[in-house]
Amino acid sequence: MFTLNCKGRLMVIDKPIVMGIINTTPDSFYPGSRSANEKEVLMRAEKMLQDGATILDIGGQSTRPGSEQVGAEEELRRVLPAIESIAKRFPEAFISIDSFYSKVVKESIHAGAHIINDVSAGAIDEDLLPTVAALKAPYVLMHMKGHPQTMQLNPSYENVVTEVFDSLNFKMAELIKSGINDIIIDPGFGFGKTATHNFTLLKELQYFRQLNKPLMVGLSRKATVYKTLGIKAEEALNGTTVLHTMALLNGTNILRVHDVKEAMEAIKLVQKYSEA
């Protein structure tokens, strides 16, 4: 069991939970995740919460391979109205801000977000981690090799599992030393990794349990699913659910997903299987 302090509200993770993805970007890799206005954001948030999501992850910047990076001001313009609207309409929801900018993170937490989901491990904005420490908010520490613009240009590892683990372990020690203790670990599927790397990490996911922190997996509708199957992201729900099932059997605590209902069904079935 893990407990995260979210602005005085305790999130107890005693069984796997779901983080639902709500993108306010025009160019995220899966069109079905995009919400263009407040009405769409609230409709998506309501559906995800009804389907069982514990966390809603709000993103205003695409981090798909080769994506164009936008500045903090544009990202704030995209995410703040969404966070404010969700916090007001659904005060019971835990909200995550998906950003690597310190300014975006700070204003988002003040607007009602609880958790910081940073794909860069603090490498893009040097002020981010000190800001996280000052805010005392839970932090998703993710492994990424390179930057979104370049990360898929022939990524290579001698041993992807130990290299990703060692990088996360080293960074986690740095975070704890700086006063950041509520940490969620994300191996960073698809961020500077080939499909083979991703499948190896998924198979060896239990290895990351040694870090003794909640483990989050983000595989939903990614290229590892749709390129392996020779389909499009729009057709990758079934394949995603298969990989989610593997992740659950291998010890993940949080599934970051586009499709909450199906993820929750996978959780329920895996729980019954484990109890048999």
Q: Catalytic residue positions?
A: 222, 256
Would you list the DSSP string of 35-74?
A: --SHHHHHHHHHHHHHHT-SEEEEE-S--STTPPP--HHH
Alpha-carbon gap, residue 239 to 193, rounded angstroms: 19
| Residue 29 backbone phi and psi in degrees, to 5 | -65, -25
Residues 6+ apart with CB under 8 A from 69: 61, 148, 149
Helix (H) or strand (E) holding 174: helix 160-177
Residue reference for tokens 């990424």 = 144
Closest CA to 134 of 100, 110, 153, 112: 110
DSSP 8-state secondary structure symbol assigned to residue 233: G
- The answer to whether 63 touches 25, Cβ cutoff 8 Å, is no
Q: Residue 260, by phi and psi: left (phi above 0), alpha (psi -120 to 50) or beta?
A: alpha
Alpha-carbon gap, residue 219 to 202, rounded angstroms: 10
**Chain center to CA of 74:** 21
Residue reference for tokens 């977000």 = 113
